[in-house]
Amino acid sequence: MPDRTVVMGVLNVTPDSFSDGGRFLEPATAIARGKALAAAGVDIVDVGGESTRPGAGRVPVQVEIQRVVPVISELTSVDILCSVDTTRAAVADAAVRAGAVIVNDVSGGLADPEMGAAVADTGVPWILMHWRGHSADMDALARYDDVVAEVGAELLDRVTAAVAAGVDESRLVLDPGLGFAKTAAHNWALLRALPRFTGAIGDSGWGFPVLIGASRKRFLGALLADERGLRPADGRESATTAISALAAAAGVWGVRVHEAEPSLDAVRVAAAVSGRGPQRRLLRADGSSWTDHRSGAESTSERTTVRPEHTTDGMPAAVTGG
């Protein structure tokens, strides 16, 4: 079987995240949830201490550190790989010291001018998400002439800034930022363009591993709405699973989800049908995949391009029988 897409499990140590805010705010509960996600098969537990839902306010930096560090420390002590979901250099540094092996920055380095240098100092991979402003203001910033072109250009600007700050570009992962300063139409356009971003069709795409975070987001609730209104967050899991499968088939490196098993099944099916894994892979320091579930400390990345035969509609030949 080919290597499959990485599955990151969301762990919100917050009182106000849109899907599960408050459920895992207490350290003991958060640690138990992280262990449950790992037992269910996620490759990386993504620990965040500040909600980034639309309209959310900011929390003091020390509060964010106090939320994430004990959880990361405990989970990594039992060989569970963790990333930290933060836009702040001080939080990223504290989390890496506690054992986090990836910094997942929804601002792509824009929220904190010190983040680039902090990540360069730690040497861990950095996920750069497309971002135009903080949660309280981002809906007003969803204005594009060509969302696919503009998101790509703005992300590659963040790559340039990261490299200028001293980060090795081989340690970067790009995320188009579904739901962040995006309307539902923008999100669907970006998802349709995934094979172009990954390089599964066309040229080399963005040239970096790609992460997708669609799990339970509002645009899925709108798609599934009925006379009662938006489908609630906990009723969007099937749609999330469908996107995990489609994203994996498009060659993304990872998907970030709230529930492990459905998306793990989805990315395994996608790998079996397409006959390939991610277009570009982020490897760990020992050269192993994040899906190998072997312990390792500091991470490094290696980009590998695989170009299977495609039919004229861009789907892998294994899908269409070609």
Q: What is the 8-class DSSP label of residue 200?
A: S
Annotated active-site residue 256? The verdict is yes
Residue 2 host element (H or E): none
d(CA 49, CA 13): 5
Contact 217, 230 (CB under 8 A): no
Q: Does residue 53 contact residue 16 with C-beta atoms inside 8 Å?
A: yes
Q: How far is CA 182 from CA 10, 93, 185, in A?
A: 21, 29, 8
Catalytic annotation, pick one of 33, 67, 217, 276: 217
Specify whether the CB–CB gap between 30 and 248 falls below 8 A: no
Q: Say which of 4, 158, 231, 256 is annotated catalytic.
A: 256
CA distance linking residue 126 with residue 116, whole number of Å: 9
DSSP H stretches of helix in the chain:
27-40, 61-77, 89-98, 115-122, 147-164, 184-192, 194-198, 218-223, 237-249, 260-274, 317-320
Cβ distance 69 to 94 under 8 Å? yes
Q: How many other C-beta atoms can be found within 10 angstroms of the C-beta atom of residue 256?
A: 25
Locate tokens 């949660």: which residue? 135
Please report the sign of the dihedral spanned by the C-alpha atoms of residue 90, residue 92, residue 93, residue 94. Answer: positive
Let me know: does 266 contact 245? Beta carbons within 8 Å. Answer: yes
Residues annotated catalytic, as ranges: 217, 256
